[in-house]
Amino acid sequence: MKNFTCQHCKNVVYFENHTCEACRQWLGYEPISSQMLSTGLQQTVPRFQLNGRNYQYCSNHQYHVCNWLIDANSADTLCEACNLNRTIPNLSVKENVLEWKNLERAKSRLIYALKQWNLPFVRGVNGSYDLLFDFLSGDEKLKKDQSAMTGHANGLITINLAEADAIHREQVKQELEEPYRTLIGHFRHEVGHYYWDRLINENQYNLNAFRQLFGDDRADYGKALEQHYKKEHNYNWKGNYISKYASSHPWEDWAETWAHYLHLVDMVDTALNVGLLNKNYTQISDAYHHHNFSDIYKAIVPLSIAVNSLNRSMGQPDIYPFVIPKPVQQKLEFVHSILRNYNS
């Protein structure tokens, strides 16, 4: 992710900031220009300006879960990221608001990345589906078409609110033997299923290439997951897949690989923008639009060693607990080519 600075004092600020820690000005992210705008704290209702246009906060800013901006003259009250929410948690429960905030932070980073590739969220033809989100708790009374289980179905991504709780997430991580389980990882994985439908299944050339590399997606999905959750031993997954879950079915292999590609690109792009990687040395100026995947992959090796070493120096587990074998590298390169060809 790029660096952001406060318009008022030029201090470096984070993508999620609502105010500048240095000058205390209001901050808001304007997604079309991808800039962080600032305004004065003395305003009762914060207003922002850019190139003669006025902007205001998304209405979800009142819950401190969103800092994105919309045109002040727009009839809409939600930003394009919050407009993707079909269901939000019950806000009368205090804990739900805190967990929803964590979900929105992760989702905003996802949408930021998808916009870098100009990937579509909305379908313009009959019988197709948009990208939507349900944030649900198993404690709530759900509608007939709802399930609180994290997953994807026809463009609707459901995230269980419990995933925003770090203790719950760690318990599940240990139970399912997953070395890496994060909110942003969930969002990236589930949206991978959505874009499999749009970029692979609807393109015969891409579908044929996918089956050559990932396997036959027509294999019984329910049976494959049943076998996976029985924890039957799969000794060869480490040499062929990015995770054990990826070995369960070609759809999950794609979603795990897609999510990992998004991890890598965001890591490299962030490292470039904060000066951890030398742009001249890596030949990468923009990881989202760089033509050669091998350059991105080569940059990850020293970067992952560096960030893991930093974490170990603080007594923390490795931030990047992955080894990428050759078959996985080829799958990552396939994801790269799909995105490059889509935007060419």
Amino acid at 57: Y
| Mean pLDDT of the region 244-257 | 94
Coil/strand/helix, residue 37: strand
Residue 85 parent element (H or E): strand 85-87
The region that residue 169 occupies, defined by phi over 0 for left and psi between -120 and 50 for alpha, beta otherwise, is alpha
For the record, the structure tokens of 126 come out as 């009959």
Are residues 172 and 185 in contact, defined by beta-carbon separation less than 8 angstroms? Answer: no
Buried b (16+ CB within 10 A) or exposed e, 181-216: eebbbbbbbbbbbbbbebbbeeeeebeeebeeebee
Quick check: 233 pLDDT over 70? no
pLDDT of residue 163: 82
Quick check: 127 pLDDT over 60? no
Lowest mean pLDDT among 138-152, 197-211, 318-332: 138-152
| Mean pLDDT of the region 59-82 | 95
Are residues 40 and 32 in contact, defined by beta-carbon separation less than 8 angstroms? Answer: no
Measure Cα distances from 9 to 18, 38, 39, 149, 312 in Å.
15, 9, 11, 44, 35
pLDDT digits (tens, 9 = 90+) for 86-126: 999 988 888 889 999 999 999 999 999 999 999 988 765 55
For the record, the structure tokens of 155 come out as 């463009």
Longest alpha-carbon distance in the chain? 62
3-state secondary structure 235-258: CCHHHCCCCCHHHHCHHHHHHHHH
Residue 12 backbone phi and psi in degrees, to 5: -70, 130
The DSSP code sequence of 286-311 is -TTT-S-HHHHHHHHHHHHHHHHHHH
| Mean pLDDT of the region 249-259 | 96
Q: Any idea of the CA torsion for 202, 206, 212, 215, to the nearest 10 degrees?
A: -30
At 331, the pLDDT band (50, 70, 90 cuts) reads: very high
At 67, the pLDDT band (50, 70, 90 cuts) reads: very high
pLDDT of residue 344: 65
- Round to whole Å and give the CA distance between 191 and 189: 6
The pTM is what?
0.91
pLDDT of residue 124: 58
The region that residue 233 occupies, defined by phi over 0 for left and psi between -120 and 50 for alpha, beta otherwise, is beta
Average pLDDT, the chain: 88
Lowest mean pLDDT among 144-153, 171-180, 260-269, 297-306: 171-180
Domain boundaries, the chain: 4-79, 203-344
Cβ atoms within 10 Å, residue 77: 13
